[in-house]
């Protein structure tokens, strides 16, 4: 049981480049999320998807877009990367209220 799988694990981008972070879960969860983790700031929600076909902005959505391709997959796209987007990105999914999240292993992104 793979849980939540994120690709790639590491990425270096130049300012202005674009890329898509992939996330897939095999637990039949309805809700999926993208967070970024920065030192001293904890995890901040970028976008989330309550169910297949819906997406909503979180706390820090600027500079990002998302696609809920199907129930399993939720991708995060950076259209024009900036150094401020250097961070560790985590995808997560949730079964239902009160059960918490299952997290992926993260993508460490550096924008130079």
Partner 1 sequence: AQRVTQPEKLLSVFKGAPVELKCNYSYSGSPELFWYVQYSRQRLQLLLRHISRESIKGFTADLNKGETSFHLKKPFAQEEDSAMYYCALSGLGSARQLTFGSGTQLTVLP
Residues at the interface with partner 1 (CB under 8 A): 31, 33, 35, 40-45, 48-50, 56, 58, 90, 92, 94, 96-106
Task: Give the shortest CB-51-to-partner 1 separation in angstroms.
Answer: 8
Contact 24, 4 (CB under 8 A): yes
Q: Quick one: the chain helix, strand, coil %, rounded to 5? A: 5, 55, 45
CB of 4 to partner 1, least distance (A): 8
Which of 16, 100 has the CB closer to partner 1? 100
Find the Cα–Cα–Cα–Cα dihedral 24, 9, 3, 71, rounded to 10°.
-10
Nearer to partner 1, 49 or 85 (CB): 49
Residue 42 C-beta: closest distance to partner 1, Å: 4
Report the alpha-carbon distance of residue 70 to residue 47 in Å, rounded.
Answer: 16
């Amino acid at each position: 049981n793979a849980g939540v799988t994120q690709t790639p694990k590491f990425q270096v981008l130049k300012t202005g480049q674009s890329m898509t972070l992939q996330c897939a879960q095999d637990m039949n969860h309805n809700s999926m999320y993208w967070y970024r983790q920065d030192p001293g700031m904890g995890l901040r929600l970028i976008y989330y998807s309550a169910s297949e076909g819906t997406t909503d902005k979180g706390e820090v959505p600027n500079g990002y877009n998302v696609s809920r391709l199907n129930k399993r997959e939720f991708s995060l796209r950076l259209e024009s990367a900036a150094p401020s987007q250097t961070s560790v990105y985590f995808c997560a999914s949730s079964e239902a209220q009160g059960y918490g999240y299952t997290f992926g292993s993260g993508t460490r992104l550096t924008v130079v």
